[in-house]
Amino acid sequence: MKVPVKVDGRELTLSNLDKVLYPEYGFTKAEVIDYYSRVAPVLLPHLQGRPLTVKRYPNGVNGQSFFEKNAPDHTPSWVRRVTLPAPGSTKNRETIDFAVVDDLPTLVYYANLAALELHVPQWRVDEDGEPLAPDTLVFDLDPGAPATIVECCEVALMLREVLKSEGLTARPKTSGSKGMQLYADWDCREEPSDYARRLARLLEKEHPEQVVSVMTKKARPGKVFIDWSQNNPAKTTVAPYSLRAREQPTVSTPLLWKEVESCERPEELVFTAPAVLARVEKHGDLFSRA
């Protein structure tokens, strides 16, 4: 069934609203659209100006999925698009037409495509669609089993202190999966991947039993991998407040530092869409630059 709607003056047609996209939780496409619509006031500032990569699950989280960078041919004309070079494209494209989610109608359009996961780079484009310098630094903390997000929290606290000594203020969020990320506003003092790698190697040297800075799988069991490479301009990281395609509709959730400091069990830092809406109601945007 198709349902015509008007969102902030834009006409959209929503479809298959009763389709269950998270079978174990019974979470439908209608609920996905509702979540993204309600979280939009705090989500949109983190998407605005950033070329969008989505991971779509048309048949739910247990079905086939695909990453999509190029805006689909049927994308409405009012959706902002920017054409950017695509070095190393797996499809041998010289350029990609990215969508940029600057408003609620575009966000609802993508939610209706079952674009559950929203991924963006650490840089934005200007009004003319030209790439700007990176404005964000990110460290992706990935636990190697049996390590969990509890160990990630320990490493996050170490990293917070290192960044503080460098004059940078870290903001934590869950990945919505098994790990977490730390962000900091970036002033382009040097190439961000080089800088992040240097800090990751510093912590690895100081805490070799807890931290690893290389991607090699065999080096990671029981440790936390600090993935500094997410700062490469060609890479993206899941956006704050994005859903994740897990068994439950978990969300990449901004955290209070006291939650990081006190975490003793992984389940303490698992937040589903309804819980995140309640958190936003209580705390506002914990990931704001204030």
Written in H, E and C, the secondary structure of 46-109 is HHCCCECEEEECCCCCCCCCEEECECCCCCCCCCCEEEEECCCCCCCCCEEEEEECCCHHHHHH
120 conformational bin, left if phi > 0, alpha if psi -120 to 50, beta if neither: beta
Q: Are 180 and 269 in contact (CB under 8 A)?
A: yes
What is the overall mean pLDDT for the chain?
A: 95
For residue 112, which amino acid is it?
N
Q: Supply the pLDDT for residue 115.
A: 98
pLDDT at 93: 77
| Torsion angle of the four alpha carbons 233, 71, 21, 58, in this order, in degrees rounded to the nearest 10 | -120
Q: Which percentage of the chain shows pLDDT scores above 90?
A: 92
pLDDT of residue 88: 60
Query: What is the arithmetic mean of pLDDT over 243-264?
Result: 98
* Partners of 84 in the β-ladder: 96
Q: What does the pLDDT look like over 3-59, one tens digit per residue?
A: 999 999 999 999 999 999 999 999 999 999 999 999 999 999 999 999 999 999 999
**pLDDT score recorded for residue 39:** 98
pLDDT for position 107: 98
Q: What percentage of the chain exceeds 70 in pLDDT?
A: 97
pTM of the model: 0.96
Q: Which amino acid is at 174?
A: T
Q: Which residue type occupies 246?
A: R
Place 285 in a pLDDT band, splitting at 50, 70 and 90. Answer: very high
pLDDT at 290 over 80: no
**Per-residue confidence at 91, pLDDT binned at 50, 70, 90?**
low
CA 152, CA 148: separation in Å to the nearest integer?
Answer: 7
Instruction: Identify whether the C-beta of residue 15 lies closer than 8 Å to the C-beta of residue 28.
Output: no
Q: Which two tokens stand for residue 115?
A: 């674009």
Least confident segment among 149-153, 186-190, 214-218, 222-226: 214-218
148-156: average pLDDT: 98
What does the buried/exposed string (b/e) look like for 55-78 if buried means 16 or more CB atoms within 10 Å of the residue's CB?
Answer: bbbeebbeeebeebbbbeeebeee
Contact 64, 48 (CB under 8 A): no
**Predicted local confidence at residue 90, as pLDDT:** 60
pLDDT above 60 (res 164)? yes
Mean pLDDT of 260-275: 98
Q: Is the pLDDT of residue 191 over 70?
A: yes
Question: Of the candidates 288, 287, 284, 270, which has an alpha carbon nearest to the alpha carbon of residue 152?
Answer: 270
For residue 1, name the pLDDT band (cuts at 50, 70, 90).
Answer: confident
pLDDT (average), residues 102-122: 98
Pseudo-torsion of CA 177, 113, 51, 40, nearest 10°?
Answer: -70
